[in-house]
């Protein structure tokens, strides 16, 4: 068996970081509707991730090129154990739109995080986008890139030790409210629940799947059907706990994204959600 | 909070099922190379899944249309708690090839499993395909379908309570050996390990990520780089244990894909892999 390569950072001044890029207002003539709720999402993400020790940067309403630049710049810095990237905008398959209506290929964003600064760090992306074909007709992906140029499959461009959570709302309005998007608000709720930040990442994301899926079903019937729910893709090779705050901050051997390959206990346990 | 909808099947004669479709030999003139190792994969899958109580069906070297038909037929039956679908062939982004060289859209295969027979059941697909562009040049996806017709994004066609594990081998040869593919053999190894079948599904799949990623790295340098590793997509809303065999088979309340939304214990635990 191979060795365990711990994402160990001795420098205590290096923090975990989050970059939140959200587009709520598009340039006139772009035929992309204003997205209410974006500010509320940003505020809560900032508040909760900061409390959990992340250095959080928020950038709003930037153009497609600027979105690429923002993530490229972030990918060249390092983090203690974990980087969280959030993108919230209108989207199409594999792309989201900048304020100028330009398409941002998600595959390209992910691929930046293959570099040495981010090696062995946990990376989590949350994509609040992917609009349904039934709504907002007339929006097309920017035609400046072709299939040939775009050889990288989105799924397979995701680096090692990375997960991507997709809101996947074919029927966009169902998931974005003035009070914030289902995906981001559920993520924030879980991180505020007792024990939430202690959850192993795939367990946390599975709970988001559950809560968004069933919250959504209970609300609207017009866009009904089970497919309006999130999913996540993971290339994590370890079990990681990126939001866990240790009592003893100086205990670095446990403080980073704890690596555990463990036995599943066989006893059944009580639900923490009722 | 919503209720828990248990995938409960009172009929004890209904078993879990697996359908394995593998293509090792392609029609002459299709320019798709023979895939050694397919039989070994099939044999092991049959042996291990049968031991774990699955009814296993293997179909080899069929045409694209027959692959669609085989999965459509399976999706109309029910299972006790879990269906496992394995597809092993050459592939391209979003498609695999039948023995006739015809392209099979994975999105369509997944979408069959949205029907009532499979509602509330756990579905796991394993896709041993997705060849690199650097090898086997000249293979193109069947042009009989267009982007417009193919409106469903592969990722978002995955039904609720379903996970898909992709071998994602951009560099196909690296993962397929005469002794079997890295993905399938690792899956089988884990299911034969003590405690392996007891693992929660995302934990099991994360271990596959780990083992394939690092096994691969240790073997070959020519196709090096961290991106040659699996990933999985999940729309599970519960923690499920599809391979767990209960000591008391009659204890149906625990016997199905056990549903648990549980607290993460905070103590650290011993690794079971050394």
What residue of A is the nearest CA neighbor of B236? Answer: A206
In a domain, B268, yes or no: no
Structure confidence at residue B171 as a pLDDT band (50, 70, 90) = low
Residues of A within 8 A of B159 (CB-CB) are 226-227
Task: Check CB contact under 8 Å for B202 and A199.
Answer: no
Distance separating alpha carbons of residues A22 and A39, to the nearest angstrom: 9
pLDDT tens for each residue of A26-64: 999 888 888 989 999 999 999 999 999 999 999 999 999
Distance separating alpha carbons of residues B179 and A55, to the nearest angstrom: 48
Q: How far is CA A155 from the centre of its chain?
A: 14
Tokens of B222: 């020519």
More confident residue, B17 or B229: B17
Residues of B within 8 A of A199 (CB-CB) are 264
Distance separating alpha carbons of residues B48 and B187, to the nearest angstrom: 10
Distance separating alpha carbons of residues A111 and A20, to the nearest angstrom: 17
Residues ≥6 apart with Cβ < 8 Å to A108: A68, A152, A157
What percent of chain B clears pLDDT 90, i.e. is strictly above it? 54
Task: Check CB contact under 8 Å for B93 and A2.
Answer: no
| Nearest C-alpha neighbor of A213 from the set B180, B162, B68 | B162
**Interface subset of B 14-73, CB within 8 angstroms of A:** none
Of B198, B209, B269, the CB nearest to A236: B209
Provide the β-strand partners of residue A54: A16
- With H, G, I as helix, E, B as strand and everything else as coil, classify residue B182: helix
Distance separating alpha carbons of residues B195 and A238, to the nearest angstrom: 17
Q: How far is CA B23 from the centre of its chain?
A: 15
Residues of A within 8 A of B171 (CB-CB) are none
Q: How far is CA B84 from the centre of its chain?
A: 6
Task: Check CB contact under 8 Å for A264 and B114.
Answer: no
Tokens of A203: 């367990």
DSSP character for B138? T
Is the Cβ of B175 closer than 8 Å to some Cβ of chain A?
no
- Name the pairing type of β-strands A231-234 and B16-22: unpaired
pLDDT of residue A5: 42
Q: How far is A87 from chain B (nearest CA, A)?
A: 18
pLDDT of residue B141: 34
Distance separating alpha carbons of residues B130 and B89, to the nearest angstrom: 8
Distance separating alpha carbons of residues A187 and A196, to the nearest angstrom: 10
Which one of B262, B267, B273 makes the best mutation probe of the A interface by having the most chain A beta carbons within 10 Å? B262
Is the Cβ of B214 closer than 8 Å to some Cβ of chain A?
yes
More confident residue, A155 or B41: B41
For A113, the domain range is 16-255
Q: Is the pLDDT of residue B48 over 80?
A: yes
What Rg, from alpha-carbon coordinates, does chain A have? 19
Written as one string, the DSSP assignment of B201-225 is: HHHHHHHHHHHHHHHHHHH-STT-S
* Ranges A13-27, B122-136, B201-215, B236-250: which has the least confidence: B122-136
Residues of A within 8 A of B266 (CB-CB) are 198
In a domain, B3, yes or no: no
In a domain, B270, yes or no: no
pLDDT of residue A161: 95
Q: How far is B93 from chain A (nearest CA, A)?
A: 6
* Ranges A12-21, B183-192, B238-247: which has the least confidence: B238-247
What is the biggest distance separating any 2 CA atoms in chain A, rounded to whole angstroms?
59
Q: How far is A227 from chain B (nearest CA, A)?
A: 6
- With H, G, I as helix, E, B as strand and everything else as coil, classify residue B164: strand
Residues of chain A with pLDDT below 50 are 1-8, 132-152, 218-227, 247-248, 250-274
Residue entry with tokens 């690794």: B271
Residues of A within 8 A of B121 (CB-CB) are none
- Name the pairing type of β-strands A231-234 and B231-234: antiparallel
Contact B45, B81 (CB under 8 A): no
| Residues of B recognised as catalytic | 90, 130
What residue of A is the nearest CA neighbor of B110? Answer: A227
3-state helix, strand, coil in chain B (%, to 5): 30, 20, 50
In a domain, B133, yes or no: yes
| CA-CA-CA-CA dihedral for B185, B187, B193, B197, to nearest 10 | -150
Distance separating alpha carbons of residues A35 and A40, to the nearest angstrom: 11
Q: Tell me, what CATH number does B222's domain have?
A: 3.40.50.1460
What is the biggest distance separating any 2 CA atoms in chain B, rounded to whole angstroms?
59
Is the Cβ of B207 closer than 8 Å to some Cβ of chain A?
yes
Contact B242, B82 (CB under 8 A): yes
Is the Cβ of B264 closer than 8 Å to some Cβ of chain A?
yes
SS3 assignment for chain A: CCCCCCCCCCCCCCCEEEEEEECCCCCCCCCCCCCCCHHHHHHHHHHHHHHCCEEEEEEECCCHHHHHHHHHHHHHCCCCCEEEEEEECCEECCEEECCCCCEEEHHHHHHHHHCHHHCCCEEEEEEECCCCCCCCCCCCCCCCCCCCCCCCCCHHHCCCCEEEEECCCCCHHHCEECCEEHHHHHHHHHHHCCCHHHCCHHHHHHHHHHHHHHHHHHHCCCCCCCCCCCEEEECCCCECCCCCCCCCCCCHHHHCCCCECECCCCCCCCECCC
SS3 assignment for B56-70: EEEEECCCHHHHHHH
Q: Is the pLDDT of residue B15 over 90?
A: yes
pLDDT of residue B114: 93
In chain B, the number of structural domains is: 1
In a domain, B4, yes or no: no
Tokens of A249: 């901050």
pLDDT tens for each residue of B88-127: 999 887 899 999 999 999 999 999 999 999 999 999 999 9
A·B CB contacts under 8 A:
175
Of B198, B230, B236, the CB nearest to A264: B198
In a domain, B211, yes or no: yes
Mean predicted confidence (pLDDT) in B62-86 = 97
In a domain, B269, yes or no: no
Contact B59, B21 (CB under 8 A): yes
Is the Cβ of B241 closer than 8 Å to some Cβ of chain A?
yes
pLDDT tens for each residue of B134-146: 333 333 333 333 3
In a domain, B74, yes or no: yes
> Roughly how many angstroms between the first and final C-alpha of chain A, as a whole number?
41
Which one of B227, B252, B266 makes the best mutation probe of the A interface by having the most chain A beta carbons within 10 Å? B227
Structure confidence at residue B265 as a pLDDT band (50, 70, 90) = very low
pLDDT of residue B38: 93
Task: Check CB contact under 8 Å for B261 and A268.
Answer: no
Of B159, B236, B254, the CB nearest to A268: B254
| Residues of A recognised as catalytic | 90, 130
Q: How far is A23 from chain B (nearest CA, A)?
A: 22
Provide the β-strand partners of residue A18: A56, A84
């Amino acid at each position: 068996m191979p060795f365990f390569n711990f994402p160990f950072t001795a420098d205590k001044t290096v923090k975990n970081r989050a970059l939140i890029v959200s587009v709520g207002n598009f340039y006139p003539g772009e035929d992309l509707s204003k997205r209410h709720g974006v500010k509320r999402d940003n505020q809560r993400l900032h508040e909760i991730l900061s409390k959990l020790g992340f250095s959080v940067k928020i950038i709003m309403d930037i153009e497609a090129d600027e979105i690429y630049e923002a993530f490229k710049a972030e990918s060249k810095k390092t983090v203690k154990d974990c980087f969280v990237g959030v993108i919230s905008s209108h989207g199409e398959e594999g792309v989201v739109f900048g304020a100028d209506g330009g398409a941002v290929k998600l595959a390209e964003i992910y691929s930046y995080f293959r570099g040495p600064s981010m090696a062995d760090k946990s990376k989590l992306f949350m994509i609040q986008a992917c609009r349904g074909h039934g709504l907002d007709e007339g929006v097309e992906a920017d035609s400046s890139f072709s299939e040939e140029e775009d050889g990288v499959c989105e799924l397979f461009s995701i680096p090692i030790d990375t997960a991507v959570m997709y809101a996947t709302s074919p029927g966009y309005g169902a998931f974005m409210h003035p009070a914030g998007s289902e995906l981001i608000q559920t993520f924030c709720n879980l991180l505020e629940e007792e024990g939430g930040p202690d959850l192993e990442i795939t367990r946390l994301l599975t709970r988001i799947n559950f809560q968004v899926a069933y919250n959504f079903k209970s609300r609207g019937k017009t866009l009904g059907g089970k497919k309006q729910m999130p999913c996540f893709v993971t290339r994590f090779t370890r079990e990681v706990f990126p939001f866990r705050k240790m009592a003893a901050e100086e205990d670095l051997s446990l403080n980073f994204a704890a690596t555990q390959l463990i036995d599943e206990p066989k006893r059944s346990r009580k639900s923490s959600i009722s």
